[in-house]
Amino acid sequence: MPDLFQNIALGFSVAATWQNLGLCLFGCAVGTAIGVLPGIGPLTTMALILPVTFWLSPVGALIMLAGVFYGAQYGGSTTAILVKIPGETSSVVTILDGHAMAKQGRAGPALAIAALGSLFAGTVVTLLIAVAGPPLAAVALMFQSADYVSVMLLGLVSAVVLAHGSILKAIGMIVLGVLFGLVGTDVSTGDYRMTGGLDVLFDGIGFVPLSMGLFGLAEIMINLEEKTQARPAVLRVRELMPSRADFLRCLPAMVRGTAVGTAFGILPGGGPTIAAFSAYSLEKKVSRTPERFGQGAIEGVAAPETANNAAAQACFIPMLSLGVPPNALMALMIGAMMVHGITPGPEIITKQPVLFWGLIASMWIGNAMLVVLNLPLIGLWVRLLQMPYGYLFPSILVFCCIGTYTLNSSPAEVLIMTAFGVIGYVFRKLDCEPAPLLLGLVLGPMLEENFRRAMVLSGGDWSIFVTRPLSLGFLLAAAGLLVAVALPAIRKGREEAFRE
């Protein structure tokens, strides 16, 4: 325990420098803004900001990107409650009771509970990361190559099961992402593979141009297709502070929402959206008056808002302790680490303590900043929502091109970004979710490296994957997920849940 306090003190000494405080504030402000604006999202924004991190320190870059990620969960609730427009998909369920409360003249308590619930979840989960991270990393040091192969397969299978839409399309996206990750020079033989003779692909497909094209440019094309909508009517905010009865109703919902969000954040393929829907469903089932939900029940705001923020921060647990991203957003975080030459994995806590504990401390600081940013500045965020998209997309487009070019001063990478923008647009039209592709891109090279090492160590004996208990456990879990999702009843329930 003394070591924990010393490490947290180290983290605050790193996070509390003026530069890192400024980066945390910038990330939280940008995250809140893109949470307010529908159609952009943290994944797209983090892809756009990624080139900027090249000129920052590694810990500063991760602090800023993390602020964007969990900050977006705060911003989405403001517009969901006031104007019935979710800035983030994880805030969709907040509309049901949040907007109903706003129409009853209780927008203030709804917004306050959403912010305080998110702060509660962020504080608890950050403490969990601080406590559980080092022991998990110590356990991960016992992993061998075969175990890493199996845990990555479990992550890819989970991403397929929890992806929106068709399972076959999700599998196709994962496989395509893994294949894209294998383009370039074979690290063992030095041979070029799948490069088509193009010099720019000899070092592989760049993470930055692919992510910026797949999410940044494709998102612009999709948004420009949508018809221009009238400015939404904004409900007024009167009193902000919830009553004592509101707090008593919400406290158990916050605790349950934090638990649900943490579980879905750690789960490979999970994330804030699924956590928010699950927490709302759980709260409705355990309530003695379920008929109140959808009519302005304040627990219906507290549970999903707590869960989505808990999930957003719990995603860092497997990423920091195992080096395995549970979803596409964490894959982007790993991409930022790789840009700085940092290899993600369990040794990062011992070899990069300044980075790990600085990031942990910044989460506490960032969550406090977000409460200050969200409640007093509600009017500003709502006015931002009313900005026409025609003023927004040209700057995004220019930023994409400049960011991709300046990373390696390569015009060819701008062309690659453009190509993936078109590819991403086609995927969206075909209802193929591109996020699993990004996860496959990051995990593909790691999967190949560990698979080859396992084969070398075992002398080509494939039984190594089932004779090691850890590896066998992960493989059985992956097989169980595939069998479960293939069952007609579960498959039908999954489709109904995503459709809802």
Per-run averaged pLDDT (10 residues), the chain, 500 residues: 76 90 90 71 74 82 86 75 67 79 81 84 85 74 80 78 72 87 76 77 77 78 66 56 81 90 74 78 82 83 87 81 74 78 74 86 87 71 63 73 73 86 88 79 81 85 85 85 68 55
pLDDT of residue 40: 65
Long-range contacts of 40-45 (CB under 8 A, 24+ apart): 40/219, 41/72, 41/88, 41/89, 41/215, 41/219, 42/68, 42/69, 42/72, 42/88, 42/329, 43/215, 43/328, 43/329, 43/332, 43/435, 44/215, 44/216, 44/219, 45/72
pLDDT of residue 80: 76
Sign of CA dihedral 142, 136, 1, 370: positive
3-state helix/strand/coil string of the chain: CHHHHHHHHHHHHHHCCHHHHHHHHHHHHHHHHHHHCCCCHHHHHHHHHHHHHHHCCHHHHHHHHHHHHHHHHHHHHHHHHHCCCCCCHHHCCHHHHHHHHHHCCCHHHHHHHHHHHHHHHHHHHHHHHHHHHHHHHHHHCCCCHHHHHHHHHHHHHHHHHHCCCCHHHHHHHHHHHHHHHCCEECCCCCCEECCCCCHHHCCCCCHHHHHHHHHHHHHHHHHHHCCCCCCCCCCCCCCCCCCHHHHHHHHHHHHHHHHHHHHHHHCCCCCHHHHHHHHHHHHHHHCCCHHHCCCCCCHHHHHHHHHHHHHHHHCHHHHHHCCCCCCHHHHHHHHHHHHCCCCCCCCHHHHCHHHHHHHHHHHHHHHHHHHHHHCCCHHHHHHHHCCCHHHHHHHHHHHHHHHHHHHHCCHHHHHHHHHHHHHHHHHHHCCCCCHHHHHHHHHHHHHHHHHHHHHHHCCCCCCHHHHCHHHHHHHHHHHHHHHHHHCHHHHHHHHHHHHC
pLDDT of residue 25: 92
